[in-house]
Amino acid sequence: MTRLLVAALFVALSMLHVSHSSAADAAAEIIRLWSGDAPGALGTDDKDIPTVAWWPASSDKGPTPALIVCPGGGYGGLADHEGTDYAQWLNSKGISAFVLRYRLGTKGYRHPVMIGDVSRAIRLVRHDHAHLGVDPTRVGVMGSSAGGHLALTSCIHGGPGDDAAADPIDRMSARPDIGILCYPVVSMVSGKTHDGSRKNLLGTEPDEDTVRHLSGELAAHNGVPPLFIWHTWEDKSVKLEPILELGIRLKTVGRPYELHVYEKGPHGLGLGQRPYGGPTPLHPWTIDCSRWLSEQGW
């Protein structure tokens, strides 16, 4: 009888663990950025509907900070390990994550649709902060590769709210409070950029003003929020030079940032392990970024 009771208890505890793990491995909710058709929508399929996957962080200290996570993929796809894995890691730090499914160049979309999607996500999280349990004064962006370019673009060009807007969400500011850029595409200048990202974002013959507008090393200004930027020497896909030029530009305009160039790590390495919580160790950037986030009051 005792053995049966122990066995039953073991099974019950195992089922509880599986249930908890399953809950932790899924977003709490998928939220449409617009209740109706998104501005510029080309249809009504999933590819035409920008959303955020809400990964809430638990906290006994009140509202949590929040990061809009922009996965990479050359503006042609969305890399899940730069979305879901990041969200789980951020949750472990007490930060709520909102993984953005923005519209893509391979689905017929071009700039400024993508910056419109990330701006709307920031505004929505600020507007719905009470329901989402987040602090509206601590809403930032995080992005990898082309998603890093999108995150950087929002840090440079994220605008104020429109007090006269009919939609109350559009009255919120789209300027992030911080930005985390992981092996980001910084420039759209030919010869310095990632060619696939540029083509998917801007088409084959973009005008020079738009190229400069979307090149962080040229467009960064004194309103850019604090940035944490990292890259690796081994990365053969995204050029390091524009990232270093961005650092010089930020220093010139008097904006704080932290920049790390690690020797090891291929392009697209994410956390350094897949999936989050897997057998391989986290890349050292996660340690440096955790410290930086704490220094920012996050």
Average pLDDT over residues 92-113: 98
Q: For position 152, which CATH number holds?
A: 3.40.50.1820
- The pLDDT score that the predictor gives to residue 60 is 80
Q: Is the pLDDT of residue 3 over 60?
A: no
Q: What is the mean pLDDT of the chain?
A: 91
Instruction: Please state the rounded mean pLDDT for residues 207-224.
Output: 98
pLDDT at 14 over 60: no
Asked if residue 237 has pLDDT above 60, the reply is yes
Question: Residue 24's pLDDT is what?
Answer: 56
What pLDDT digit, counting tens, does each position of 159-208 carry? 999 999 999 999 999 999 999 999 999 999 999 999 999 999 999 999 99
232 in any annotated domain: yes
Mean pLDDT of 93-97: 97
Counting Cα atoms < 13 Å in the Cβ hemisphere of 40 gives 17
Q: How many residues does the chain have?
A: 298
Residue 93 has pLDDT above 90, yes or no: yes
In a domain, 273, yes or no: yes
CB count, 10 Å around CB of 57? Answer: 18
Of the ranges 8-17, 191-200, 212-221, which one carries the lowest mean pLDDT score?
A: 8-17
What's the pLDDT band for 10 if we cut at 50, 70, 90?
Answer: very low
The 8-class DSSP code of residue 282 comes to P
* E strands present in the chain: 29-32, 51-55, 64-70, 96-101, 134-144, 179-182, 227-232, 257-262
Whether residue 118 is contained in a domain is answered as yes
Q: Which two tokens stand for residue 232?
A: 């690796």
Q: Are strands 227-232 and 179-182 parallel, antiparallel or unpaired?
A: parallel
Task: Check: CB of residue 226 under 8 Å from CB of residue 296.
Answer: yes
State whether residue 223 is helix, strand or coil: coil
- Report the C-alpha gap between 274 and 270 in whole angstroms: 8
Contact call for residues 51 and 101 (beta carbons, < 8 A): yes
Picking from 19-28, 61-70, 171-180, 211-220, which range would have the lowest pLDDT averaged per residue? 19-28
Q: What is the rounded average pLDDT of the residues 97-126?
A: 98
DSSP state of 69: E
Domain assignment present for 15: no
Among 130, 123, 195, smallest CA distance to 154 is for 123
Q: How far apart are the first and last CA of the chain?
A: 52
Closest CA to 259 of 145, 179, 170, 158: 179
What residues form DSSP beta bridges with 41?
A: none
Asked if residue 278 is part of any domain, the answer here is yes
pLDDT(12) > 70: no
Calpha distance 49→66 (Å, rounded): 22
Angle at CA of residue 103, ends 90 and 182, nearest 5° = 35
Percent over 70 (pLDDT), the chain: 92
Asked if residue 11 is part of any domain, the answer here is: no
Q: How confident is residue 5, by pLDDT bands cut at 50, 70 and 90?
A: very low
pLDDT at 13 over 60: no
The residue segments making up the domain with residue 55 are 51-295
The predicted-structure confidence for 61-84, as pLDDT tens digits, reads as follows 889 999 999 999 999 999 999 999
What is the pLDDT averaged over residues 235-256? 97
Interatomic CA distance for residues 83 and 182, integer angstroms: 12
Six-digit token pair at 19?
Answer: 């249930």
The pLDDT score that the predictor gives to residue 195 is: 96
In a domain, 9, yes or no: no
Angular region, 244: left φ>0, alpha ψ -120 to 50, beta rest: alpha
Residue 251, in any domain of the structure: yes
Instruction: Report the number of distinct structural domains present in the chain.
Output: 1
